[in-house]
Amino acid sequence: MMPPDQNTTDANQGCGQRLRIAREAAGLTVPDVATRLRMPVRVVESLEAEDWSRLGAPVFIRGQLRSYGRLLGLGTEAVHIASGVDPIRPVELTPRTYVPRMRIIAEQSARRLVYVVITAAIALPVWLATQPHLVSQDTVSGSLDVPVEIPGASVSQGSRGPTPLVASMAPVAQRPVLLVPPAANGLELRLAEDSWVEITAPDGSVVEQVLLHAGAVRAFDAGEVGGVVLGNASAVDVRRNGVEQDISPYLRANVARFTVSSDGSLAPPGP
């Protein structure tokens, strides 16, 4: 017996019932269909029972219905309509918004300008803070018309006059600055490498805020220092009354912050 055509099948029947009637009319069992279509028996049973929840996405359901309908000679479109499974629709593409090139250039320029402003805001205070501590050479000025007596010269009283000095362009040697040792319980900083140093008084005012170079030494009397911040702290030797102090408890990422009490002892900064 030939399987029924889609024109002779009841239009009110579901796709599962149509598939089952066509399979039985063709003399095929569910395992026979599963073997010919190379699909599990449970899939064939789910198609005839219209149990779409066991078959996955609609694209797979429509593909399996198409294969089953072709095997039994049923119209593919009629089976799909009877199944009620939504047809596969192409993905809708959203057009990309066009951004003018001048707008892109303006945004990039604005970001670079912000970077320059931030860099200047950080570097300018550091540069200004170092200016008062730059060492300048001492200059000596004097009058060139100071009279000088020449010993042994026979000059008459009327012809005696001022002898001019010869100006020398050689630089005048600068006298070394002597560091006064700190008093008892005083604080002393010795730098092995360059380090940023900030010294504040007990009242919070800034005593010194400068980038010191390797070999520099700073000494402060007791009660003169209230707080200390050391940038390259591992390169700074902190001494109290000539005794080296341990600043490791106050280190964070090679930056030391501590306070100095009235008796010269070190303590962590307050909250």
pLDDT: is 242 or 164 the higher one?
242
Predicted confidence band of residue 90 (pLDDT cuts 50, 70, 90): low
Does residue 267 register a pLDDT over 80? Answer: yes
Please indicate, yes or no, whether the overall pTM of this predicted structure exceeds 0.85.
no
In the chain, how long is the greatest CA-to-CA distance? Answer: 161
Which of 178, 211, 181 is CA-nearest to residue 193? 211
- pLDDT by residue (tens digit) across 19-78? 888 888 888 898 988 898 888 888 888 888 888 777 778 777 878 888 877 887 776 666
Distances (CA, A) of 251 to 90, 237, 254: 63, 13, 6
Comparing C-alpha atoms, which of 86, 94, 69 is closest to residue 9?
A: 69
Dig out the tokens for 66 from the structure.
Answer: 């198409």
Residue 181 CB partners (closer than 8 Å, separation 6+)? 188, 219
- Tally of CA atoms within 13 A in the half-sphere of 96 that contains its CB: 3
Alpha-helix runs per DSSP H in the chain: 15-25, 30-37, 41-49, 58-72, 76-83, 101-130
pLDDT tens digit sequence for 169-196 = 444 444 444 444 545 568 889 999 999 8
The pLDDT tens digits for 199-222 are: 999 898 998 999 999 999 989 887
Residue 82 token pair: 């009877």
Domains, the chain, ordered by start: 15-83 (1.10.260.40), 187-267 (no CATH)
Taking each helix axis as running N to C, give the angle between helix 76-83 and helix 58-72, from 0 to 180 degrees, rounded to the nearest 10. 140
pLDDT more than 70, % of the chain: 66
Q: Which of 71, 3, 4, 61 minimizes the C-alpha distance to 37? A: 71
63-95 residues labelled b (16+ CB within 10 A) or e (exposed) = ebbebbbebbebbeebbbebbebeeeeeeeeee
Task: Calculate the average pLDDT of the chain.
Answer: 75
Q: Which of 14, 19, 33 is nearest to 85 (CA)?
A: 14
Adjacent-strand bridge partners of 42: none
